[in-house]
Structure 1
Amino acid sequence: MRRADRLFLIIHALRGRRSAMPARALAETLGVSLRTVYRDVADLQLSGVPIEGEAGVGYVLRKGSDIPPLMFNIDELEALVVGTRFVRAFGGERLGLGAKAALLKIEAVLPPELRERSQRTRIFAPEMSHRIEASGLIDRLHAAIEARRLLRLDYRDKDECITVREVEPLCLAFWGGSWTLGAWCRLREDFRSFRPDRIAALHDTGMTFTDSSARGLDAYLHAAGATR
């Protein structure tokens, strides 16, 4: 966790409390040592954040310095919680970590009754080690899309025959049970959708490509009959 995120969470963990929060509880919430909590709180105090208390006693925001909570209704809150669970399970490691951090920030600024409600939803998306999302492949494809890196795929078709494709990766789409990689295929000179679970080998060519109107994301989505 970045230090900036940690400082943000300390402030919001203290907001609205009537009693001091022990440093140990802050450390457990943030997954850091007591020494780190002491140092961060001291830095916040020196920066003018009105935190009162001390090591061994606990910390609280000075009365009158509270900030208003984020305002979500029950359905909005449940949608956020369930959405982050799905991203954690199916979005790859990078987005999964981002979802965990986002949910922690959201829950940190909720009133107690809404925070408790957010933890009661019974819609789950369990994370499982054998799925493709845990292999790192989705993260590699995501990174290549963002950097516009030309990829070389050893790709299996439905008959298990392998062809080598050079592709310009444009987007990833999740269909509930499987992913597809939307790309411009240089071999076919057309748009194609590739299933990551059929990629036998993935090679970064070291080259990049330029997104163009004729073979970029919008053109791919139009050809696929889809919208953003």
Structure 2
Amino acid sequence: MTVARSERLLILLQVLRRYRQPVSGAILAVETGVSLRTLYRDIASLQAQGALIEGEAGLGYVLKPGFMLPPMMFSQEEIEALVLGSRWVAKMADPRLAAGAVDALQKIAAVLPPELKEEIDNSTLLVATPRSREDKTDLAMIRNAIRAEHMLDLAYEDEKGTITQRRIWPFALGFFDSVRVVVAWCEMRRGFRHFRTDRIISAVSTGERYTRRRLVLLKEWRKEEGIAAPG
């Protein structure tokens, strides 16, 4: 399988980072799967981009600390993950977050090498348009409350149509194919509850911080639900 040049350079950098002492070109060529001649050209390319690679043929090479990757070097799988993720958010999230996903992908594409930009433009990974239920409240406001660890006052309608007033401590927002769910500590129920955003009649931020940290609540909720933390 042919590897794009930008991906090949990224692999070479990752290999070099594993060695603290000079490593021969022959070893680097084997580990990156290229000829020795190609390896020397790739090293020269990285040096031209600012990589602090010291050494020469016959003596070995070492990457000095402090070098950051050239802007936006991604493997093909990473590009596909970015495209798929951005397209999913653009269709599943609230308008402001959806616009953010589109803008972020455009910024990434603007600084990619031509061959990788083409991967974004020609990606065949598609996301279906969901049959989502209409939200009656501002999800951007809810996301802001989660970031600020602020309590929310809700008017919430349950599956039977009964409306209750709740004060909650929101700490997560889940996105599913057809619904979105606020995960929170509910003062009325004295426990964790899940609030579908299409059933939130109104939501007002109190501007007051709740007494426990968001990450602590998230950890306890995961434990209670038997959900493993992301790896």
CA separation in 1, counterparts of 2:124 and 2:197? Answer: 30
- Give unmatched runs, 5+ long, in structure 2: 1-47, 51-69
2:210 equivalent in structure 1: 209
SS where residue 216 of structure 1 aligns?
Answer: helix
AA aligned opposite 2:225: A
1:224 equivalent in structure 2: 225
- Quickly say closer, same or farther: Cα 1:190–1:119, change in 2 above 3 A: same
Q: Note if contact 2:150-2:170 (Cα within 8 Å) is conserved in structure 1.
A: yes
Q: Note if contact 1:213-1:219 (Cα within 8 Å) is conserved in structure 2.
A: no
Q: Deviations over 1:165-200 (max 9, x none)?
A: 111111111233221111111001111111111111
CA separation in 2, counterparts of 1:214 and 1:176? Answer: 25
- Quickly say closer, same or farther: Cα 1:132–1:140, change in 2 above 3 A: farther
CA separation in 2, counterparts of 1:214 and 1:93? Answer: 26
- Quickly say closer, same or farther: Cα 1:213–1:107, change in 2 above 3 A: closer
TM-score (norm: length of structure 1): 0.61
5 Å matches for 1:17-28? none
Q: How many residues align?
A: 164
1:114 equivalent in structure 2: 116
- Quickly say closer, same or farther: Cα 1:149–1:69, change in 2 above 3 A: closer
TM-score (norm: length of structure 2): 0.61
- Quickly say closer, same or farther: Cα 1:110–1:153, change in 2 above 3 A: same
AA aligned opposite 2:118: E
CA separation in 1, counterparts of 2:93 and 2:213? Answer: 27
AA aligned opposite 1:155: Y
Q: Deviations over 1:74-126 (max 9, x none)?
A: 22211111111112222323433332232122212222222122111233347
- Quickly say closer, same or farther: Cα 1:121–1:213, change in 2 above 3 A: closer
- Give unmatched runs, 5+ long, in structure 1: 1-64
1:158 equivalent in structure 2: 159
SS where residue 124 of structure 1 aligns?
Answer: coil
Q: Note if contact 2:150-2:209 (Cα within 8 Å) is conserved in structure 1.
A: yes
AA aligned opposite 2:88: F
- Which deviates further from its counterpart, 147-156 or 88-97? 88-97
Percent same amino acid among aligned pairs?
36
Q: Note if contact 1:167-1:185 (Cα within 8 Å) is conserved in structure 2.
A: yes
2:36 equivalent in structure 1: none
CA separation in 1, counterparts of 2:198 and 2:206? Answer: 20
Q: Deviations over 1:47-95 (max 9, x none)?
A: xxxxxxxxxxxxxxxxxx8775633222221111111111222232343
AA aligned opposite 2:144: A
Shift in Å, 1:211 = 1.8
5 Å matches for 1:1-228? 68=70, 70-125=72-127, 132=134, 137-212=138-213, 216-228=217-229
Shift in Å, 1:127 = 7.2
